[in-house]
Amino acid sequence: MNRAESERLAALLENHGFISASRAEDASLVLINSCVVRQSAENRVVNQLMRLRHLKKSRPEIKIALTGCFVSSNLAEMHRKYPFVDYIFPAGSEPTFEDMADVSRYSLPKQAAISSGITIIQGCDNFCSYCIVPYRRGREKSRPVAAIEEEACNLVEGGARELILLGQNVDSYGHDLAEKPDLAMLLERINKIEGLERIRFLTNHPKDMSPGLVRAIARLEKVCKQLNLPVQSGDGEILKKMNRGYTLEHYRELLGQLRREVSGIAITTDIIVGFPGETPEQFGNTLQFLEEARFDAVHVAMYSPRPETLAFRKYADDVDPAEKARRRKLIEEVQGKIAGEINCRLVGQTFEVLVEGRKKGKWYGRSQSDKLVFFEHPDDQSGRLVPVKIEHSSPWFLRGSLIK
């Protein structure tokens, strides 16, 4: 979501006549789109700001702008703490360029990324006990269907072939709009856009995914058979303390339904290890759940206490950092084994790959099921949808050859 927002801000700047510089040292304006979901991310933002403060001493004409979740609701306090930052605006809001009129600029046409994100719903109403997002992004606000459709068409005209519909909880899309559209209906509309090849969306919330959405995924040909469905923990008690709003039993049923109705669907998840009070047994339940659920990929994070959240106020951060790291490593090992087995079976199969670019002499892109695929070819393949026969697998990527 942050990357998509950064692209949107970059496009906005380009529309106002800016061109991008490759280094902060060469720029007349530096805009930081910040993330503070974990303390480590917040530390990186502070480091960047300190670097820019230093840069501004030697180049006082440089303008610094700051947005994203680092920006708290108390703007006056932010300006007091970071006096060298020229413009500060809250996450999800747009800068007013009239304020930035004194920054030099040039004109350049805008090209969309091959895989482009579109925010469909901002904010979050859920208040999972560990999460800072609702405090920094506010309540859920859906964008009207027509505005999303228009942006989608513009992106496709600008060269996008895959669109990723974004929100902290895309399953609650539309509940706050007068006509009460939902995600399934939105997918149906986006599916009709000519020239668009693929649609993805994230993130889904296990408590809110509807049977209608599951049917839409199965039915609509451009919608990728792939989902990120964060479970966060494989222990019922911890899920309760996380205030996730579903039981493990509910999650299991949903997983079964998805796999029955959408054949070959790839499912990934998010896990937090070391939530306050997580015992070795409770962590063991998460490991066991991974064995049972057999996800295609798992994003694992060590619990990080965030100011304002319920978990921060109510529970001590009592799992030792070394123990958190050990649990994270165990998850990665178990998941590496599972993903290795899943991917091994893909050798010999042929996938359509949407080529995104080149890395270390190889073209790379993603299959419909979101597997990262590398292949070699002498000609430029970027932006193309090509059939690749898989010859080698690993837990994290596949390698193959383009077939005629």
| 2 touching ligand SAH, by CB under 6 A | no
What is the rounded CA–CA span in Å between residue 110 and residue 155?
A: 10
By CB under 6 A, name the one of 117, 134, 167, 181 that touches ligand SF4.
Answer: 134
- Enclosing H/E stretch for 13: helix 2-15
Distance CA 65, CA 53 (A): 12
For residue 272, the partner it binds in ligand SF4, ligand SAH, none, with Cβ less than 5 to 8 A by kind, is ligand SAH
Q: Please provide residue 260's backbone torsions phi and psi, each rounded to the nearest 5 degrees.
A: -70, -45
User: What span, in angstroms and rounded, lies between the C-alpha atoms of 1 and 5?
Assistant: 6
Partner whose footprint covers residue 303, from ligand SF4, ligand SAH, none (CB < 5 to 8 Å by kind): ligand SAH
Q: Under a CB-based contact definition with an 8 Å cutoff, are residues 348 and 374 in contact?
A: no
DSSP code, position 25: G
**With respect to ligand SAH, which residue has the nearer C-beta, 32 or 272?**
272
| DSSP class of 223 | B
Q: How far is the CB of 358 from ligand SF4 (least distance, A)?
A: 34
Find the shortest distance in angstroms from Cβ 317 to ligand SF4. Answer: 17
Crossing angle (nearest 10°) for helices 183-190 and 145-157: 30
Among residues 303, 333, 337, the alpha carbon closest in space to that of 321 is found at 303
Number of residues in the chain: 404
Strand partners, 333: none
Decide which of ligand SF4, ligand SAH, none touches 181; Cβ closer than 5 to 8 Å per partner kind: none
At what angle are helices 211-219 and 248-261 packed, to 10 degrees?
Answer: 30
- CA–CA separation, 172 and 159 (whole Å): 29
Type of residue at 392: H
Structure-token pair, residue 266 = 């790839």
- The answer to the question of residue 38 lying near ligand SAH (CB under 6 A) is yes
**Interhelix angle for 280-293 vs 248-261, to 10°?**
10
Q: Contacting ligand SAH (CB under 6 A), which of 137, 306, 366, 399?
A: 306
What are residue 53's phi and psi, to 5 degrees?
-60, -40
Q: How far is the CB of 131 from ligand SF4 (least distance, A)?
A: 3
Closest CB 205 distance from ligand SF4, rounded Å:
6
Cα of 195 vs its chain's centroid, Å: 24
* Total site size for ligand SAH, rule CB under 6 A: 17
Using the rule CB under 6 A, is 286 a contact of ligand SAH? no
Candidates 63-71, 86-94, 193-201, 296-304: pick the segment binding ligand SAH (CB under 6 A). Answer: 296-304
Nearer to ligand SF4, 162 or 182 (CB): 182
Other beta carbons less than 10 A from residue 192's beta carbon: 10
Tell me, residue by residue from 156 to 175, as one string, x for binding to ligand SF4 by CB under 6 A and - for no binding: ------------xx------
- In whole angstroms, the minimum distance from the beta carbon of 155 to ligand SAH comes to 23
Nearer to ligand SAH, 21 or 325 (CB): 325
Q: For the residues of 132-163, what is the DSSP string, one character each?
A: -HHHHH-S-EEPPHHHHHHHHHHHHHTT--EE
**Binding residues for ligand SAH restricted to 184-203, rule: CB under 6 A:** 203
Residues 309-368 that bind ligand SAH (CB under 6 A): none
Least distance from ligand SAH to the Cβ atom of residue 272, Å: 5
Residues in contact with ligand SF4, total (CB under 6 A)? 10
| Stretch 73-132 residues interacting with ligand SF4 (CB under 6 A) | 124, 126-128, 131
Residue 230 in the binding site for ligand SAH (CB under 6 A): yes
**Segment near ligand SAH (CB under 6 A); pick from 13-21, 25-33, 87-95, 126-134:** 126-134
* Contact residues for ligand SF4, defined by CB under 6 A: 124, 126-128, 131, 133-134, 168-169, 205
* Contact residues for ligand SAH, defined by CB under 6 A: 37-38, 130-131, 133, 168-169, 203, 205, 230, 232, 270, 272, 301, 303-304, 306
